[in-house]
Structure formats: C-alpha cells, structure tokens
A and B are shown apart, each in its own frame.
Chain A
C-alpha cells in the first residue's frame, strides 16, 4: 500500500463523510420541527408565540438562513467545535466524552466475544461439515441471525432479571467501569448484542472455511503429510480469515448503529446510541449531527482498517 493509494482512500473517505454530514444536516432541518417546540405547550395567554419562538430559535442559532447555518456549522467543525446540545445543556464534545465509554465497553466486549465465539463456531462446524453437530450448530446460527435483538434483550430481562432475579433490570452507571461487577452487569446486554454477531460470523467463517477446504493448496498441504490440525489452522483458516476480517470490519458500523442502539435502549445504557435517539426526539440537531458524523467516521475508519488488514494478510495485494 503506497502513499498515494492511502491519500486517495482518505480523500474518498472525506468526500463520503462530507456527504453524510450534508445529508443529515439538511434532513434534520427540512422537517417541520423546531427546538422551540418544547415551549409551545407552555406558552400561555398573553404571549406572542411567534416572537418567543423566534427568540428561542435565535438562542440556538437556528433562525439564520439554512445555507448560512450550514457554512457556520462546517466552520465550527473545522475549528473542532461540535456545537451546543440544547436538550442536555452541554457542549456536544463533553457529551460525547462522557457517554462514548458506555457504548464502547458494550461494543468492545460484544465484538471480542463474537469474534472469538464466531470464529470458533465457524471452524468447529466447518471441520465437522455435514455431521449432526454441524446441523445443530447451523440451525442455531440461523436462529441467532433471525432473532430480533430487541426481543432477545427483553426475554433475557424477563427470564434472568424479572423471573430469576439474577441481574438488575437496568444498567447501573454507578459501577466502576473496570470492575467485575460492571462486567457482570454487562452480561445480558453483551449477550443481546453479540448473539446475532456470533451467529453471523460463525456462518460466514464456516462457509469461508469450506470454500478454502476445497482449494488445491489444502490438498497439497495434506499430501505433504501435515497433521489435519495444522492443515486447518494454518492453510485453511489463514486463508478463510481474509474475507472474515473484511466482513467483521464492515459489520462493525452496522453493529454500532443498529444493534448497539437498540441494546442501549433496552437496558438503559446511556451510550451514544441512546443519547442520539433522545436527541432526535428533542430536535437536538448538533448531537444527532455529531453522532451521525462519528458513525460515518467509524465506518470509514473500519473500512480503511479492513483494507490495511487485507493488505497485511494477503501478500498478493501487499506486493502489487
């Protein structure tokens, strides 16, 4: 991977980030909502609603013409200013600083678990292709992929929290982040988020393994007299890993902004997903914009990482 390629990729990423930013900026503002909405119901007799609305909109800087707001926003972004969150009354950057960790620990733990379990499941089932164990595992993978994670979360709460009382029904932010009790508290959320990932990765690894098992070089490896475990681990798996790495990387953003969102919602984890959901409902533009942009950057970052990882893992690309 030479420098000009990297530069090209970065430029491409920037264009896409700009596109996402612009799209969400205008999407948020063409709707009929205004941050002054929350005051509408309380505006009693004797008030000139439009005057108060105007004052409130000017307070949050949303009274300017759209293009002006747009350029102002870009300008402040370039100066590292993410804006002011008027539904939480704090700078968006502070909000993110406080809340990202809750999302991160959930996503990190789930991903690690899903990668370990998913890959093991994939190797296990591929090595036992068409056996009973494989069929059972395949069925459970399908189930894991198909189970709606919001329902899964609810069922876990119903069974393990409400009926059995093993866990709290909500996530307790009072726990120190690096403690066993915090890890324990994250068990149900992580299961909720990771189940679909484990099943998906498992299936993907399995099919990637099977595809590579039919490759001639695997037969070559066996013909050399290598033990089957070495054949699987070295020749099949290392090759099967290539597309898996890509899929996992590309999947990351989907997980963060799909599953993690919902998981935070169910368990009351005040992560970025939940914050942005609340922000949508409060017409808090800057928070939604920031989370969207972070999401886009994370996605683009993982795309880039996938690319680099691919290059690292696949000498055919590395040396071109």
Chain B
C-alpha cells in the first residue's frame, strides 16, 4: 500500500517542564501516515503514545510543551499555524477519539448537543441542519433509535454506546485523519470487538487515515497497516504491519510480542520498568532492560536504521537477530 502521505511527523519533541526537571515525554520522533491506512502506535503505558497524539492536535497542556519538530498536514506545518487556524484543523481535518468514553463526554449536555456542536464548530449551518446531521452520524456509528436518543444524556448510555457517540463526534466533519487513543481499552471484550469493527468499517467507507494507539498487540495484528513501536518517548521500530509483526527487529518489540500469550500459553514479560524520563539513561534508552545490550548501547543513542524501505529500527543490533 503506497498511497500518498497525508500527515507527516518530523523530529517531534514534546517535553514537560516540571518542578523536578524536564520530562522528555516525546523525544525526537518521526513517522508518516498515508491516506486510508491504519497506523498503530504501540507501547507500554507511559511510552509517550498519548502525548504524541495530543501533540499532533496541539493539545498538550502546561507544563507540557512542543519543543521542536514539524507536523505536516497538506503541506502546512501545524505547529506554525495560528491558534485560530489550528482550531479549524481540530475536529475538522484531524479528529480524535479518547480512551475513556465515560469521561470523554460532558455529563451535563445531551449527546445530540455534543455531536452537533462538533459540526457547527466548523460548518456554518443552522441548528436544525446540525442536529439532523448529528442524528445521521449517530445512526452511522450504530446508535439504535438515534433520533429518540438524541436528547439523552451520556449517563443514560452504556460504555460501548458512549464510545460510539464519541466516534460520531470525531466523524462530524469527515476528518482526513482520525486519532483513536486506546478507544476500546476501557470497554469490555465483546464491545471492544464491535468498536474495532466500526473503525474498520469507517475506514473503508470514508477513506480516512486512522492513527490507532494501543498497547494491545492483538488488536494491532488485527487492524494495523503500519506500526510505530514507542518506548519512553522514542520510536524503537516502525514499519509495515507485516514487517514489524512478522520480523520484529528491536529487542523491545520482541519483548512486547513475548508479552502476547504465545501458542504455548506462556507469557514472557520484559524485565524491569520504563525508566524515569527526567534523567533518562544515556545511550539507548532501552538498554537497562535489554538482555542484549552492548557497551555502545550505554553510550550512544542508536540512529534509526533502515531495514527495508518500509521498516526502520532504532537499535545498534539492527538487522542482527538476537
């Protein structure tokens, strides 16, 4: 799949300036997403996935700050847009679905209001148009009796239904890119599957690009066209889904896959935890947990090494099968 690149992230750095020091939550990452593809960002919690997503929408809040980099959408660097113009990107060109549908909806407004609000934020249309469009959207995402339930409040919906509402909101302006931040994690398993199906369906229908953030490789294997593996704010490995999953190069990726229950039913955990990001270890950030770490790993930051045209890894052991 080699369609055009629609969103390109280049050397993005997002730091958090806390009293105790600078947290390098996203530290120099680059990746692209093509039209109509589903890109999965994978990593443990705290690896900077969500911050990456928020950085794309420029929604990082104080004390966090995007230090440098480029986020290019339609030849525009989003980081250079005026706040007003950026506002028009959000929800319109890039939309986002958050992790927890229970808290992502404002409890004191009706779902209809919240969906139509997303429409009227970008399209000049009257209230009735917005609300009829919103009803259509709700139907589209599979809310039964959408018209009747238009005036219901979030607490009257189940978790899965709420997430559908959130997705409907995100779809309001048919965005080019939809960022989904672990949209199914907070839901139970059967509902998770329904939501995944919905994403696949939507992608097929609207030719949207989807950045799907998850820590669940099972999900990734089901939907991803390409994969970005993040660890401690940096990209460890990225590439086509077949390449990364079929031929994982980075010890971390391998470790993550080890965390998947293998056919033998044994879970092999990665030893240790994510390091503190204020004083990250020198060299490769993964080295303290890496079973294969070399001396150089402790001193130098490994560059992004090309394995195939579509498969890159940040590891001195790149290409070497450990």
Contacts and interface: CB of A to CB of B under 8 A. Distances in A.
Do A and B touch (CB < 8 Å)?
yes
Interface of A: 129-130, 215-217, 219-228, 230, 234-235, 238-239, 242, 313-316, 319
Given A222-B59, A223-B90, A225-B88, A216 B100 contact: yes
A220 B153 contact: no
A225 B98 contact: no
Interface residues of B, number: 36
Given A223-B90, A224-B121, A227-B87, A316 B62 contact: no
Closest 10 pairs between A and B when the two form their complex, measured CB to CB: A225-B91, A225-B90, A224-B91, A216-B103, A315-B153, A217-B106, A224-B118, A223-B96, A220-B104, A216-B104
A221 B117 CA distance: 9
A239 B98 contact: no
Contacts of A223: 57, 59, 90-91, 95-96, 98, 170
Interface in B121-162: 121-122, 153, 155-156
B90 A215 contact: no
Interface of B: 54, 57, 59, 62, 83, 87-92, 95-96, 98-100, 103-110, 117-118, 121-122, 153, 155-156, 166, 169-170, 172-173
Contact of A239 (B57, B107, B153, B172): B107
Contacts of B89: 225
Contacts of A216: 98-100, 103-104
Contact of A319 (B54, B122, B153): B153
A239 B107 CA distance: 8
A219 B172 CA distance: 16
A19 B318 CA distance: 80
B105 A217 contact: yes
Contacts of B59: 219, 222-223
Contacts of B155: 315-316, 319
A314 B110 CA distance: 11
A53 B59 CA distance: 79
B175 to A, nearest CB: 10
B107 A314 contact: yes
A319 B156 contact: yes
B108 A220 contact: no
Nearest to B118: A224
Contacts of B118: 224-226
